[in-house]
Structure 1
Amino acid sequence: MSSGHAAYHHATTGMFHRRSGGEKERSHLGGPEAWTIWLLATIFVVWLFAIQTGYGIVSPDIQHDANLTLTQVSLAASIYTWAFALVQFFSGSLLDRYGTRPLMAIAVALVTAGAFLYAGTTSFTTLVLAQIVLAVGSSFGFVGAGYIGGKWFDGAKYGLMFGLVQMFASLGSAVSQPAISAMLKHMSWEQLLAGFGAFGVLLTIAFVLVVRNPVATPEEAAAVKAAHEGKNVFVEIFHDLGACFGNRQVVLSALFAGASFGTMLAVGVLWGPRVQEARGATAGFAATLSALAWLGLAFGAPLVNVVSDRWHSRKWPAVVGILLQAVAVALFIYGPANGVGASAVVMLAVGLFAGTHMLGFTIAGESVTPAMIGSASAIVNGICFIIGGVLEAVPGKLLPASPDLADYRSALWIMPVVLVAGAVCALLIKEPRTETTPTGS
């Protein structure tokens, strides 16, 4: 760690408890203000996840009303994930440098604007523009909530707080998918998406009024300024990203996490409802089955860190979890064409074992200096969405205009293959040497 980064980390991690004569009380780890800010950040993630995962439900209506092809719809979904991933690489470092205020409020405003653009989709160009604006704002959501958990709560709970954010986001997705399907019976998709935008306006106001960075003493503020004075922000960002990409553990953890969550994203956002409808399910029941996958992820995300701590291992829970996910995804694609109970169990398992991807954040965070945790987390999350984009776009290119179940089975073989490759990456990971308290303590 450079002296500048060391000073910055000391300043940002030490700004929670101190008082100086005549000054107001400093921010407290885990206090009411910390929980309020974390809750707002989690609501942001739940809201944007609902918009993301709702794409699989509203995309057939958008496809019909805007005269689009299935290839264009899947390409638009992949453009979102790639734009998200590109900006994601910078968002973590920007949060490390500037904190949550005003970046998080700007991010919420961008997602709000994207939702209104989404509601006004009349062509492929409009849809792509909406996806890009949504992606730029959303790139600060999950990593931003994790950053808040790391700055406003005890560092030993970093992995657990990250897992809780994913849990609530997945629970929100599990509820929102069938809810969106039901609401579309009573309103148009344009009205539904405009409603998401209206909620975003209120959330933006809340972020502007409430969310701030922990209070620093004058000495701490001076240390932060000295750490960055005369330095170009982009040079620092690329330096941090280069250091993280040069770390073997970070790269391997990003690849296995990307295989795990990328597959979950492709199933939960796009292909899950389509495949279930090809099996003969109604649109409403297909949405419910996809919601079960997100429900499974809600339990799997915090559970995997608990299992990892109990096993005293990061590597082997990752290997076993991603292989079990490969089995579940293979059953989702190639399992029996009927059977309500079996489909429900399989979709639940797909999400449950996808929780394995959270170990990627834990391993990456334990493999870098504290000043680079934001950058390492952003790399992991960015790779997750790059692989998700590939798994959305490639099958779309292989499918005919009106695919049946056999066509989906011929195109989606790439997903279990990617998961097996992810398991190999997890197998190559070395057990991180850490002196920190287990994340589940």
Structure 2
Amino acid sequence: MSSGHAGYAQATTAMFGERQHSGKGGPEAWTIWILATVFVVWLFAIQTGYAIVSPEIQHDATLSIAQVGLAASIYTWVFALCQFFSGSLLDRFGTRPLLAVAVALVTAGAFLYAATTTFGTLILAQVVLAVGSSFGFVGAGYVGGKWFAAAKYGLMFGLVQMFASLGSAVGQPAISALLGQMNWKQLLAGFGAFGVLLTVAFAFVVRNPVSTPQEIAEAAAAPRGNVFAEIFSDLGRCFRNRQVVLSALLAGASFGTMLAVGVLWGPRVQVARGASDHYAAILSAMAWLGLAFGAPLVNVVSNRWHSRKWPAVWGLVLQAVAVALFLYGPARTPAVSVVVMFAVGLFAGTHMLGFTVAGESVPAALIGTASAVVNGVCFIIGGVLEALPGRWLPAVPTLGDYRHALWIMPLVLVLGVLCALALRERALAGTPGPAPVKRGNTRR
């Protein structure tokens, strides 16, 4: 933590009566990490559940498929915009009280979501959800980086994605089944009710790690600057870092495609192939299950290969092949469909290397900002892949229409391969972690 950042964290400590933590990797660290991970699983369930409830919303609110796609992309773009600021705010203020506020916003968004009657209400719900959700995944990664040893940074981040994906894999078929027992408004209100409980838990349990004596001394002597100016300065440092930019682009190509498949287009393409709505939801869940395995596995493979570049290259190549089979493969048996969708998610785990590379390429004080840049780019690309095909589709699209509109997804993955090839390989000594705190130019 830098001197300026430590100063903000100390002010937050004083304001909210921070208590001493039990040490990195201790019981309190695990409790806070578990809560942060539950937050991510919950918001992922709401986010990916959109693929299941959007046809119901489309029918009841009398919306077009283009409006449904636009609403999904607006969530994604607002999320991405807020993401750039959320990482820097976490670097300065830590998890308390920011994560409690974020959970409250997602809760409010879930209730607005349940009250959707018009396109305007849907957009408002998506915006509120996006602002709160922008602190979720990066917040959980930040907890892993600050409350655990640096060497576990990539693994802890991968575990967050694994549990979030498992939640989505279970959640999509469960949501589909629950829609047979209740309407979508009641279902989303139930998500909101859980959010109320989660907000209370965050308010009373989540704390910031206590700064070291050296950081406290530096914070006392450090001049206070303009928070927003420093945020833009930190963002500028990350965007000037070649490795961070390339890692963000390769991660964006990988996860953006996965997001478009898992949140919107996957179930619709499967229905166009002849699957029932429920079976399409199961196939979409298989992609998230694949991501649950791929997210932590890719860092294990990367460490064994002592390389970040080549696992990223081959992971993106294989993901492009899997997505091409999903879209353009011939008629297939249910078992083959399951394997193809699982492969789409499994190789999408490659995007986690983007966070690892970015975290290793900046000082420790910029972990949150660098992670936010990567995650923000992931969602910007995902938003494009959700919105753009909808403009090319007719009101009642066929499988051929989807194939003509979704060609952009394999193309984006090929561009991601080129970004991965442009990465500069670095020697890895043991299991990697974030770079040590260092001031000055971070361009690589």
TM-score of Structure 1 vs Structure 2, range by shorter chain: over 0.9
CA separation of 1:54 and 1:346: change in aligned 2, threshold 3 A: same
Conservation of the 8 A alpha-carbon contact between 2:23 and 2:29: yes
CA separation of 1:436 and 1:91: change in aligned 2, threshold 3 A: farther
* 1:104-253 superposed matches below 5 A: 104-216=99-211, 220-224=215-219, 226-227=221-222, 229-253=223-247
Inter-partner Cα distance in structure 2 for 1:428 and 1:12: 37
CA separation of 1:220 and 1:6: change in aligned 2, threshold 3 A: closer
Deviation, 1:222, is 4.8
Q: 2:23 pairs with 11, 28, 38, which one? A: 28
Deviation, 1:191, is 0.2
For residue 300 of structure 1, what is the aligned residue in structure 2? Answer: 294
For residue 334 of structure 1, what is the aligned residue in structure 2? Answer: 328
For residue 255 of structure 1, what is the aligned residue in structure 2? Answer: 249
Q: 1:409 pairs with 403, 408, 427, which one? A: 403
Deviation, 1:369, is 1.2
Structure 1, unaligned runs of 5 or more: 14-22
Inter-partner Cα distance in structure 1 for 2:213 and 2:310: 46
For residue 37 of structure 2, what is the aligned residue in structure 1? Answer: 42
Deviation, 1:220, is 3.8
Aligned pair 1:426/2:402, yes or no? no
For residue 277 of structure 1, what is the aligned residue in structure 2? Answer: 271
Inter-partner Cα distance in structure 2 for 1:437 and 1:290: 33
Deviation, 1:371, is 1.1
Aligned pair 1:88/2:72, yes or no? no
Inter-partner Cα distance in structure 2 for 1:45 and 1:24: 25
Inter-partner Cα distance in structure 1 for 2:82 and 2:416: 23
Inter-partner Cα distance in structure 1 for 2:148 and 2:224: 31
Deviation, 1:337, is 3.1
Deviation, 1:27, is 3.3
Q: 1:290 pairs with 284, 289, 301, which one? A: 284
Aligned pair 1:313/2:312, yes or no? no
Q: 2:52 pairs with 50, 54, 57, which one? A: 57
For residue 16 of structure 1, what is the aligned residue in structure 2? Answer: none
Deviation readout 1:73-131 (Å, 9 max, x if unpaired): 00000000000000000000000000000000000000000000000000110000000
Conservation of the 8 A alpha-carbon contact between 1:101 and 1:213: yes
Conservation of the 8 A alpha-carbon contact between 1:80 and 1:135: yes
Deviation, 1:223, is 3.0
Inter-partner Cα distance in structure 2 for 1:210 and 1:434: 36
Conservation of the 8 A alpha-carbon contact between 1:250 and 1:364: yes
Inter-partner Cα distance in structure 2 for 1:90 and 1:100: 14
CA separation of 1:331 and 1:204: change in aligned 2, threshold 3 A: same
Amino acid at match of 1:290: S
Inter-partner Cα distance in structure 1 for 2:128 and 2:20: 38
For residue 384 of structure 1, what is the aligned residue in structure 2? Answer: 378
Amino acid at match of 1:352: L
Structure 2, unaligned runs of 5 or more: 10-17, 434-444
Deviation readout 1:265-291 (Å, 9 max, x if unpaired): 000000000000011111100000000
TM-score by length of 1: 0.93
For residue 359 of structure 2, what is the aligned residue in structure 1? Answer: 365
Deviation, 1:12, is 10
4+ runs deviating over 6 angstroms = 9-13
Amino acid at match of 1:180: I
Deviation, 1:26, is 4.8
Amino acid at match of 1:244: C
For residue 374 of structure 1, what is the aligned residue in structure 2? Answer: 368
Quote the sequence identity (%): 76
Inter-partner Cα distance in structure 2 for 1:150 and 1:253: 18
Conservation of the 8 A alpha-carbon contact between 2:99 and 2:202: yes
Inter-partner Cα distance in structure 2 for 1:433 and 1:97: 30
CA separation of 1:37 and 1:134: change in aligned 2, threshold 3 A: same
CA separation of 1:193 and 1:10: change in aligned 2, threshold 3 A: closer
For residue 7 of structure 1, what is the aligned residue in structure 2? Answer: 3
CA separation of 1:236 and 1:419: change in aligned 2, threshold 3 A: same
Deviation, 1:432, is 3.2
TM-score by length of 2: 0.93
Deviation, 1:219, is 6.1
Inter-partner Cα distance in structure 2 for 1:226 and 1:416: 52
Inter-partner Cα distance in structure 1 for 2:258 and 2:20: 44
Inter-partner Cα distance in structure 2 for 1:352 and 1:188: 32
Conservation of the 8 A alpha-carbon contact between 1:110 and 1:133: yes
Conservation of the 8 A alpha-carbon contact between 1:329 and 1:415: yes
Conservation of the 8 A alpha-carbon contact between 2:322 and 2:340: yes
